[in-house]
Amino acid sequence: MSSLSTVQPPFAASMRLDQWAIGLSGLCAVHCLASAVLVALAASAGGLLLSPVFHEVGLSLAIALGTVAMARGALTHGHMMPAAIGALGLGAMAGAISLPHDGSGETVFTLVGVGLLALGHDLNRRAAH
């Protein structure tokens, strides 16, 4: 057997980052919806999930992972559209943090941002093929 079967294409690491980032986007969406439901059902249970620190850490992780994955993808395959869509999603998520935690506008902006960011990662992954 040759060692060629174990060699991965240069974009394999970028694809893994995109897959992790899509998973993180999904977890963010679940968290956002679960928080809104928990707040509606039991205000005391939603206190921890609606903590500003929780959102700031989550956004920081999304920005770091998104930036690395999108930049690697753009450098590998040369397409900027995935990065532009991902950046728009990150911007919507960052803007959502500045809104009141009343469960309406913030939730909508966060879900739109998460969806756009996940779309950017998916496009980034597809462009690598």
The model's pLDDT over 54-98, given as tens digits with 9 standing for 90+, comes to: 788 888 999 999 999 999 999 989 999 999 999 999 999 999 888
Q: Cα(7)–Cα(124) distance, rounded to whole angstroms?
A: 21
Q: Are 125 and 19 in contact (CB under 8 A)?
A: yes
- Does 1 have pLDDT greater than 70? no
pLDDT of residue 6: 56
Q: Are 70 and 20 in contact (CB under 8 A)?
A: no
- Does 45 have pLDDT greater than 60? no
